[in-house]
Amino acid sequence: MNARMTWALSAVLSLSLATAAAAEELRAGFSLDPSSLDPHFHNFSPNNAVAQHFFDGLTNFDRQNQPRPGLAESWRPIDDTTWEFKLRPGVRFHDGAPLTVEDIAFSLARAPAVPNSPSSFAMFVAGMTVEKVDDLTLRIITAAPNPLVPNNLANVMIVRRAKAEGAGTPQFNSGDALVGTGPYRFVSFTPGSQLVMVRNEAYWGGVQPYTRVTVSFIRNATARTAALLSESVDFIDQPPTADIGRLRADPRFTVTQGVTARTMYLHLDQFRDETPFVTGVTGRNPLRDARVRRAISMAINRQAIVDRVMEGVAEPAAQIMPPFAFGASRTLQPVPFDPEGARRLLAEAGYPDGFGITLHGTNDRYVNDARIAQAIAQMLTRVGIRTEVDTMPGNVFFTQATTGGPNRTPRYSLIQLGFASGTGENGSALRSLLGTFDPARAMGAANRGRYSNPVVDDLVLEALRTVDDTRRAALLERATNIAFGEDVGAIALHHQHGVWAARKPYRVEPRSYEGTLVMDVIRAP
């Protein structure tokens, strides 16, 4: 073999190896960045998504947000207040230490107790204690029957006690305490800018295809698309709806989408005799009349919002959870657009000339949130409910919407916001959004309209202590049919879709979980 041929073969081999190496690296553009890499600091979608790359729960969520085996390979209820979990043998942390029951007990105790948490994980572990049976068996004892233990535990990441004890955000962000059992290992983190990780070669769930992943946090949607078009990143999440058509038409890219557990909805003031942001009416609150609430729902053209505002990345909703969710109604359908019917109901309720109202909402929290509010205002105005819009940043809105009124009551009359269940089922959603506001019973924590129906409360509370899945689903479905169907306690608008765009040959597999996981990125042959 002559020198030229040897050089040529070496060059081809080097190019092949370089191509293979490049193929094992992945560059991502995420729309939201975590506030901390401490997996127990902030129950926040971007934090939770990033944490799943480094850590596991006893259970993990599948693509439909249902619990599947994680660090526990199986579980079963022993009785109404005791769940037994069998751990997966041979699991090790990134530093080589074996997973122990003590690490799990420490993690479940730490999760609700991290200082200065903006949103605690306490609701997922409330009333739980851990009992060790043997090195691979533990029992979780609850203070009361709790059928959601497997769902709840998918939200609580297991940390290594020896590294996490006494640690906080600085130690996790530096990587010193960021030692988990997950598919990726920490390399570096620059808050608000970039996260670098490498695959865990000893991951119990199988080695990931990408040796190294660089995540750039690009909040500006236009900049995110530009990064993809310039091939500075291999994929992005949540491209602007205005860019999706262009990306779909470009043969260099794939666009995937799927319904998520995020639902946009309206809450209406149902607890005050007079409501502060309604005009043209004295001495009464029209929103307390179910006919008025139904008229508002009928006046909204959900399909038009999906098509024109969301540009196809959503679907009309009839309830707070997608129809595939556990305990969702199988019979409720989105309320048909019927402006004439809405006018008739308003007249029947005593408002033939309508009234004025202000719709409050966010302008930086949900996809196209301010544009959705403007579209709804126009639709309501056409049936006689003369609607103004006041949108604001989420950090202002949520405080005012929750406790900005007299005696820390909700401030607004009509609000637009979104909700995504952290448990993948309907019970926690109903309890939080439409349960009668009662902190002592942990009911109605996010019920900013103060809807109240004792029948719904009883159905939801009974479901949340019923371990039998068939009976629990029936109870939740009945509660949903009353709250969203008969009573119009809140008005569901649409289920938001997650959208991802990738340069070929990459493709992102959709999941209903609201968050982006590198583990969902596949590379076509």
Does a structural domain hold residue 236? no
Q: Point out the domain boundary residue: 187, 202, 217.
A: 217
Distance CA 69, CA 87 (A): 9
Which CA distances in Å does 288 have to 113, 272, 345, 412, 523?
Answer: 39, 8, 14, 14, 53
* Token pair for 235: 């994929």
CB 455 within 8 A of CB 481: no
* Dist CA 376 CA 397 (whole Å): 18
Q: Which residue has the higher pLDDT, 14 or 329?
A: 329
Within a domain: residue 504?
A: no
pLDDT for residue 286 is more than 60: yes
| Region at 381 (left for phi over 0; alpha for psi -120 to 50; beta for the rest) | alpha
* Bridge partners (DSSP) listed for residue 264: 418, 494
124 lies in some domain: yes
Vertex 429 angle, CA 371 and 448, to 5°: 60
| Residue 416 in this model has a pLDDT that exceeds 80 | yes
- Please state the rounded mean pLDDT for residues 440-458: 93
CATH number at residue 164: 3.40.190.10
User: Would the CA dihedral through 146, 152, 154, 158 be positive or negative?
Assistant: negative
- Residue from 206, 202, 246 nearest 226 by CA: 246
pLDDT in the model for residue 436: 97
pLDDT single digits (tens) 375-402? 999 999 999 999 999 999 988 999 899 9
Shared domain for 333 and 445, answered yes or no, is yes
185, part of any domain: yes
CA 427/CA 31 separation, integer angstroms: 29
Which of these three, 190, 217, 244, is where a domain ends?
Answer: 217
Tokens for 194, please give them: 């970039």
Check whether residue 202 and residue 309 sit in a common domain.
no
Residue 247 resides in a domain: no
Residues 331 and 420 in one domain: yes
| pLDDT score of 522 more than 70 | yes
- Which tens digit of pLDDT belongs to each residue from 216-273? 999 999 999 999 999 999 999 999 989 999 999 999 999 999 988 899 999 999 999 9
- Identity (one letter) of the amino acid at 15? L
Structure tokens at 188: 């570096």
459 and 338 together in one domain: yes
Same structural domain, 264 and 212: no
Flag whether pLDDT at 140 surpasses 50: yes
What total number of domains does the chain contain? 2
147 and 42 both lie in a single domain: yes
Higher model confidence: residue 398 or residue 19?
Answer: 398
Where residue 24 falls among pLDDT bands split at 50, 70, 90?
confident
My answer on whether 207 and 266 are in the same domain is no
User: In 3-state terms, what secondary structure has residue 48?
Assistant: helix
Examine residue 239 and state whether it is found in any structural domain, yes or no.
no
Sign of CA dihedral 190, 195, 199, 203: positive
The pLDDT score that the predictor gives to residue 261 is 84
Q: Is the pLDDT of residue 3 over 70?
A: no
| Range of the structural domain that residue 372 is part of | 259-497
Q: Which of 262, 266, 263 is nearest to 451 (CA)?
A: 266
317, 265: one domain: yes
pLDDT at position 44 is 84
Which residue has 């609150």 as its token pair? 285
5 band by pLDDT with thresholds 50, 70 and 90: very low
Percent residues over pLDDT 70 in the chain: 96
Q: Which of 156, 183, 178 is nearest to 168 (CA)?
A: 178
Q: What is the pLDDT of residue 14?
A: 37
- Is 525 inside any structural domain? no
Does 265 share its domain with 211?
no
**Mean pLDDT of all residues in the chain?**
92
Q: pLDDT per residue over 65-124, tens digit each?
A: 889 999 999 999 999 899 999 999 999 999 999 999 999 999 999 999 999 888 888 889
Which pLDDT score is estimated for 119?
Answer: 81
What count of Cα atoms within 13 Å lies in the side-chain half-sphere of residue 126? Answer: 11
The confidence score (pLDDT) of residue 524 equals 80
Closest CA relative to residue 239, chosen from 260, 261, 252, 254: 254
Q: Mark whether 183 and 311 lie in a shared domain.
A: no
Q: Which residues pair with 425 in a beta bridge?
A: 326
For residue 170, is it within any domain? yes
* Separation between Cα atoms, residue 415 and residue 373, nearest integer Å: 9
Q: Are residues 209 and 282 in the same domain?
A: no
Q: Last residue of some domain: 192, 217, 242?
A: 217
Model pLDDT, residue 364: 87
pTM of the model: 0.82
**Residues 273 and 206 occupy one common structural domain:** no
Res 9 pLDDT > 50:
no
pLDDT at 412: 98
Looking at residue 404, which CATH number applies to its domain? 3.10.105.10
Return the H-helix or E-strand segment holding 469.
Answer: helix 469-480
